[in-house]
Amino acid sequence: MWAVVPIKGFDAPKQRLAGVLSPDERSALAEHMLRDVLAALTDLAGVVVISGDESVLNAARWAGVRAMRERGPGGYSAAVAQAGEALAREGIAAMMHVPGDIPLVSQEDVGRIANLEMTAPGACVVPSRDHDGTNCLAMWPPDLMQPAFGPDSYNRHCQLLRDLGVEPVVLEMDGFALDIDTPDDLRLFCAGHGDCGSLQYLRASGISDRMMRD
């Protein structure tokens, strides 16, 4: 099992947080979240970070994982599909898509998916906490279908898989559930009791206290 982590970039990402974080704060948070996610993936056979941003690709190389340059401005779904197709061509049996903004994910969460007794074709879908997004899409083989992320992608992915004759395994896990996209997500994250690098940064920088006062 390989992981595919699509990252847009570190240059003031997370525009929906622009009202509560400065560009430098958003960039720093994105880097810390990527480190937390990569730390949860260390037991897998391999990890691909795919991006069109050179600073992201360099960060992936420094972290010791594979860096893949995104082909053109195709967007998030196209990036996951590109990586999945490349892995399939290399004979890799399965991959899981893991967002770069779920810093609470753990090695245990990842292992639960990687250790599923799955025969191809097969898939596992992990919804976001609001059951709107898809915070992990695992496929056996990696190019089983074209991903379709975005609003309501959890239901859409389940239906696309069923259209292929594949009944997805649906897992709900707290570590995958919270992706940091909005100020409310960030407040919920800051209110937690974890000790990941992203939370340490938010506390040390004073952002956590500021968010909890607002």
Determine the pLDDT at residue 195: 86
Q: Are 125 and 168 in contact (CB under 8 A)?
A: yes
Phi, psi of 113 (to 5 degrees): -80, -45
Cβ-based burial of 130 (10 A; exposed 0-12, middle 13-18, buried ≥19)? exposed
Going from N- to C-terminal start, the domains of the chain cover 2-179
Q: SS3 breakdown of the chain: % helix, strand, coil, rounded to 5?
A: 40, 15, 45
Q: Considering only CA atoms, which of 183, 184, 191, 172 is closest in space to residue 129?
A: 172
Q: How confident is the model at residue 5 (pLDDT cuts 50, 70, 90)?
A: very high
pLDDT of res. 159: 98
Q: What is the pLDDT of residues 98-136, one digit of tens each?
A: 999 999 999 999 999 999 999 999 999 999 999 999 999
DSSP H helices, the chain, are: 23-40, 54-62, 76-89, 107-114, 153-163, 174-177, 183-190, 197-204, 207-213
Q: Which CATH number fits domain 2-179: 1.10.357.10, 3.40.50.2300, 3.90.650.10, 3.90.550.10?
A: 3.90.550.10
